[in-house]
């Protein structure tokens, strides 16, 4: 498993964008709205891809997955 499947990449990016749009709608409705999930349970797809990449290739080679996961968490309402 040296490479990450490309199918999951586009799905995660699409999901991330969708969640980002939904998150901004939720954020505008309340000034200090809190996330509905715990941070450990949010964005399981990007978290899995990020973790697998870091284990296999090291943190420095996985910056795009780390950024994608952070964007997903922000879209869920977390301030990271």
Going by the annotation, the residues of the binding site for Cu cation are 40-41
74 contacts: CB under 8 Å, gap ≥ 6: 20, 23, 80
For residue 68, what are its two tokens?
Answer: 């994608």
Residue numbers in the known binding site are 40-41
Dihedral of CA atoms 23, 26, 31, 37 in degrees, nearest 10, equals -70
């Amino acid at each position: 498993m040296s490479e990450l499947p490309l199918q999951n990449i586009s799905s995660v990016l699409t999901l991330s964008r969708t969640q980002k749009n939904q998150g901004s709608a939720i954020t505008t409705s309340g000034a200090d709205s809190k996330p509905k999930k715990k941070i450990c349970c949010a964005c399981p797809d990007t978290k899995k891809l990020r973790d697998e990449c870091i284990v296999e290739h090291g943190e420095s080679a996985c910056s795009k997955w780390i950024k994608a996961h952070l964007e997903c968490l922000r879209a869920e309402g977390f301030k990271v």
